[in-house]
């Protein structure tokens, strides 16, 4: 059992599945938020926990539903606010899929790609390699200041691709 801010955590953090390789763990995110002057509240903890636990990207409504299982008082407004904070602090990205739907994806400094499945919202991560490094150099040479946390390529994953 782990004690954080007087809260008991029995979850084995190492066993959690992340929807994206680079999503930091709850503890690391809480620490970072705390150091940035944010308060670590129950609802925020619940939302962060839910996002990290998810095996796929979740819509704000889905995050709400799951967060309420941890803390029933969580409101939708807080889900949105927490997503904002997490984005602001560089812990996650939100990517629109189609007309509704979002994918919540990781945030990582080095340029790399995410293959986001439109249908099942899974996110496959391409590790930074010589290609993405070359692209990064190219951006730099053009004076273009890259502001994303990752570059999302939208499509259908192997499972969801009828043709493949």
Partner DNA sequence: AAAATTTTGAGAATGATTCTCATTAACAAT
Partner DNA sequence: ATTGTTAATGAGAATCATTCTCAAAATTTT
- Residues near its own copies (CB under 8 A): 96, 113, 115, 118, 124, 126, 131, 134-135, 138-139, 142-148, 151, 153-158, 161, 163-164
- Residue by residue, DSSP assigns 45-61 as HHHHHHHHH-SS---HH
| Residues in contact with 119: Cβ distance below 8 Å, sequence separation at least 6, in sequence order | 156, 157, 160
Task: Report d(CA 29, CA 25) in Å as an integer.
Answer: 6
Closer by beta carbon to DNA, 8 or else 39? 39
Residue 150's binding partner among DNA, Zn ion, its own copies, none (Cβ under 5 to 8 angstroms by kind) is Zn ion
CB 120 within 8 A of CB 159: yes
Q: How many residues bind DNA (CB under 7 A)?
A: 27
Phi, psi for residue 122 in degrees, rounded to 5 = -70, 155
DSSP for residue 150: S
Residue 153's binding partner among DNA, its own copies, Zn ion, none (Cβ under 5 to 8 angstroms by kind) is its own copies
Secondary structure class of 74 (helix, strand, coil): coil
Residue 145's binding partner among its own copies, Zn ion, DNA, none (Cβ under 5 to 8 angstroms by kind) is its own copies
Q: Is 39 in the site for DNA (CB under 7 A)?
A: yes
Q: Is 29 in the site for DNA (CB under 7 A)?
A: no
- Which of 32, 40, 120, 156: binder of DNA (CB under 7 A)? 40
- Which of 2, 27, 34, 138: binder of DNA (CB under 7 A)? 34
């Amino acid at each position: 059992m782990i004690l954080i801010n007087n809260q008991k955590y029995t979850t084995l953090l190492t066993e959690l599945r992340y929807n994206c390789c680079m999503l930091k763990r709850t503890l690391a995110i809480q620490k970072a938020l705390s150091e940035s002057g944010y308060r670590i509240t129950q609802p925020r903890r619940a939302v962060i926990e839910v996002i990290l636990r998810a095996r796929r990207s979740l819509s704000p409504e889905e995050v709400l539903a799951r967060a309420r299982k941890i803390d029933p008082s969580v409101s939708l407004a807080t889900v949105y606010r927490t997503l904002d904070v997490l984005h602001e602090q560089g812990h996650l990205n939100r990517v629109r899929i189609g007309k509704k739907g979002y994918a919540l994806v990781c945030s990582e400094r080095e340029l790399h790609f995410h293959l986001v499945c439109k249908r099942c919202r899974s996110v496959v991560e391409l590790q930074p390699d010589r290609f993405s490094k070359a692209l990064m150099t190219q951006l730099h040479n053009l004076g273009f200041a890259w502001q994303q946390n990752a570059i999302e390529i939208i499509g259908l994953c192997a499972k969801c691709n009828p043709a493949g």
